Amino acid sequence: MTQIIRLFIELRSLALLAVASTLTAAPARADIDLRVESRPNTGAIEAYVRVTDGSGSVTGLTRGDFAVKLDAAPLDTFTLSLPPDQDPAQKVSVVFVNAIDSFVASQIVNFVNQMAVGDYAAIIGFVPMISESSLRPFARRPVVQPLTQIDAGVGTDTLVDFLSLPGHFYSSPNPTMVFDAMNRAVNQFVAPPVALPNGPKAIILIGSHRDNYSTQTQSDLVALANDNSIAVFTVRVANTAENAVVNALMESLAEDTGGSYSIVPDAAQVAGTLATLAGILNDSYRLMIPQTAVTDCYPHVLEVTSQAQSESIPFTRCDTTPDELQFTSRDNVGTGTIVVSDAVTVTGIDGPVAISVHDGEYSIGCSRTFTVTPGFIFPGDKVCVRHTASVASGDSTSTLLIVGGVPSWFWSTTSAGLPPRPPKRASGGGAAGLIELLFLLGVLLSRRQRRFQSRKRCQVYFSTGK
């Protein structure tokens, strides 16, 4: 089983690299883009296959043009559906979440203008919110243009006008409530404003910020998307090394919902990625695999071959988005000491997930063995982390642990040390010195007076016997 899981993780990494490459460069030969929507495990497994060659998407394929293998064994119990660009009864419905700026909004305008009549699109942007408390300073809250039909008329204009409002999309380092926005995006499909046509349904999230302010959790969001068969396509606009938390978020949202994850170096490259995503949604054949083909929570591998090209992708049928781990912070630790967190249990998942650490080490089982090497962890396992505390007094150190794409932090703060000695009082001349001298003389005179009175009472007692 360990070897299977290692293979699963390696294939997943290769698949993500392949998708990123596909989304940033046009294919020069026959190629396959494969993604799988496998959750929840109460429904069929849906494999979406886009076949391309040097001139674009390959059309006119039939069931006989596809060969499918499940865990290296031939699988013939699948049905084929044509993509929307070959089936007039199918339409694309997509919700854009733009957490970048107005330049990206203008590229989404191009996407909307190229959508087919009868398709549907919704837009979610962000506007500054009035701070409800000191915990949410200057956060940006989502605003929504609901799913609207593309009609080359009023409907299309409504979407374009919303995208053209500069107040909804602007460059800012302010935190963005991404999970709240994504929850609204999924609910566009859960409770649509109008009855939506048959066809692919997707969310495209374009962003580069982490989320510290949403009321929604990553685990609940993924579960809601999977329960409603909504694939999430994420586009990370920044260098991959810039923020490990954002990378993990964007990657896991796509991977855990059957979408795809791509990285572009700057907003100018988003246009090419959106064009590729449009092709994936419009040109992909759908292979429906019966629910009974896989009923467990173990990792599996699906391989699809067409036009002499093959592509494999790992998948699971169960929840792989864990609950956030809650490490208790450690205060007043010694400077430069090794600080170990408490042991916490991994919950909210049904199968093994990837684990990695930044600025520290982790230990599964909380033994004496700690590591920095990425690996995998099972539901119910305990994990702890450790790091070296700061060498400065009153300073904090953090370790980031990412489990199944969900980040958790462990913090330690060194003791503040002894307070500084108060400055010595000046003595001697001056007004302050004279006042102190007079005060001391008063104390001495008072003491002498008390001693004199006591001595006098003793003399009276001994002389009178009373």
Q: Is 390 inside any structural domain?
A: yes
Lowest mean pLDDT segment, chosen from 29-43, 220-234, 337-351, 390-404:
29-43
Residue 98 sits in the same domain as residue 190: yes
Does residue 457 register a pLDDT over 50?
no
Note down the domain range covering 131: 93-261
Lowest mean pLDDT segment, chosen from 7-11, 51-55, 150-154, 324-328:
7-11
Residue 114 sits in the same domain as residue 235: yes
Residue 460: per-residue pLDDT: 38
Residue 210 sits in the same domain as residue 302: no
Torsional sign, CA 163, 164, 167, 169: positive
Rounded percentage of the chain residues whose pLDDT exceeds 70: 78
Spatial neighbors of 462 by CB under 8 A, at least 6 apart, are none
Give me the number of domains the chain comprises. 4
Residue 392: per-residue pLDDT: 95
Q: Is 113 inside any structural domain?
A: yes
Residue 237 sits in the same domain as residue 196: yes
Q: Is 267 inside any structural domain?
A: no
Q: Is 362 inside any structural domain?
A: yes
Residue 112 sits in the same domain as residue 164: yes
Lowest mean pLDDT segment, chosen from 19-33, 128-142, 216-230, 280-294:
19-33
Tell me the CATH number at 187. 3.40.50.410
Cα–Cα distance for residue pair 175/107, rounded to 1 Å: 23
Does residue 449 register a pLDDT over 70?
no
Residue 72 sits in the same domain as residue 143: no
Residue 307 sits in the same domain as residue 171: no
Interval 152-160 mean pLDDT? 96
Tell me the CATH number at 289. 2.60.40
Lowest mean pLDDT segment, chosen from 129-133, 184-188, 413-417:
129-133
Residue 172: per-residue pLDDT: 56
Residue 284: per-residue pLDDT: 97
Cα–Cα distance for residue pair 277/106, rounded to 1 Å: 16
Q: Is 384 inside any structural domain?
A: yes
Residue 166 sits in the same domain as residue 144: yes
Residue 27: per-residue pLDDT: 40
Residue 9: per-residue pLDDT: 52
Residue 393 sits in the same domain as residue 433: no
Q: Is 17 inside any structural domain?
A: yes
- pTM comes to 0.81
Residue 101 sits in the same domain as residue 250: yes
Lowest mean pLDDT segment, chosen from 43-47, 156-160, 312-316, 459-463:
459-463
Residue 131: per-residue pLDDT: 55
Residue 139 sits in the same domain as residue 253: yes
Rounded percentage of the chain residues whose pLDDT exceeds 90: 65
Interval 450-457 mean pLDDT? 48
Q: How confident is the model at residue 331 (pLDDT cuts 50, 70, 90)?
A: very high
Does residue 207 register a pLDDT over 80?
yes
Q: Is 269 inside any structural domain?
A: no
Residue 240 sits in the same domain as residue 172: yes
Q: Is 423 inside any structural domain?
A: no
Q: How far apart are the first and last CA of the chain?
A: 102
